[in-house]
C-alpha cells in the first residue's frame, strides 16, 4: 500500500468544530483496517493538538501521511509560539484563558497527553512566528 496524504484547514474561530479533522482521520484509518489501539492513539493526540491550535493559535493546517506501519501528522500554525517548551510539557501547566477551562480544556494536559500517545513528538516553535508539531504513531494493520 502506498502512503495516503490528507490535508485539513483548522478554523480558529469556531471552538465547537475543533476535532473535525481528527474525527475524519479516525474514520479513514478505520476504513483502512488499522488496529483500534493505534487509531485511538492517533485520534487522541491529533485531537489535543487541534484543540491547542484553536485555543492558542487561531487555527492552522494539518497534514496527515498514512503509511502501512506508521502515521505521520504535522500540525502547523502561525500563532504566538511556545516560550518555554519544557514548561509546556509539564502536566498541569497551562496558559489557556478561563473561558477555555469552562469548555473542558486548558488543564495543562494537552502536550503531555500528546507525548503519551505518540511514538515520536517534535516541536519546532518560534516566538511570534508559530509552531510546527510533528507526530508519529506506529501502527500495525489489523
Partner 1 sequence: MVVKDIIDILEGEVICEGNLDAEIKTACGSDMMSDVLAFVKDQSVLLTGLVNPQVVRTAEMMDMACIVFVRGKMPDQGIIDLAEQRDITLIKTRYRMFTACGKLYEGGLSGGTAV
Q: Which residues bind partner 1 (CB under 8 A)?
A: 15-16, 18-19, 22-23, 26, 36, 40, 43-44, 47-48, 51, 103-110, 112-113, 116
- Which residue, 3 or 99, is less far from partner 1 as judged by CB? 99
Cell numbers placing 26:
479516525
Cell numbers placing 73:
501528522
Alpha helix (H) residue ranges in the chain: 20-32, 36-57, 85-88, 98-101, 110-117
CA–CA separation, 39 and 44 (whole Å): 9
- Which residue, 23 or 68, is less far from partner 1 as judged by CB? 23
- Which residue, 34 or 47, is less far from partner 1 as judged by CB? 47
User: Shortest gap between Cβ of 126 and partner 1 (angstroms)?
Assistant: 25
Amino acid at each position: 500500500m502506498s502512503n495516503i496524504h490528507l490535508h485539513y484547514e483548522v478554523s480558529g474561530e469556531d471552538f465547537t468544530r475543533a476535532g473535525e479533522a481528527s474525527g475524519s482521520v479516525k474514520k479513514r484509518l478505520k476504513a483502512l483496517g488499522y488496529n483500534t489501539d493505534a487509531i485511538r492513539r492517533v485520534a487522541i493526540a491529533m485531537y489535543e493538538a487541534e484543540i491547542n491550535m484553536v485555543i492558542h493559535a487561531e487555527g492552522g493546517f494539518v497534514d496527515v501521511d498514512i503509511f502501512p506501519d506508521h502515521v505521520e501528522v504535522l500540525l502547523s500554525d502561525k500563532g504566538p509560539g511556545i516560550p518555554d517548551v519544557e514548561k509546556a510539557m509539564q502536566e498541569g501547566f497551562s496558559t489557556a484563558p478561563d473561558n477555555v477551562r469552562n469548555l473542558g480544556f486548558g488543564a495543562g494536559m494537552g502536550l503531555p497527553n500528546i507525548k503519551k500517545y505518540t511514538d515520536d513528538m517534535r516541536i519546532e516553535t518560534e516566538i511570534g512566528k508559530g509552531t510546527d508539531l510533528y507526530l508519529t504513531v506506529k501502527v500495525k494493520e489489523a
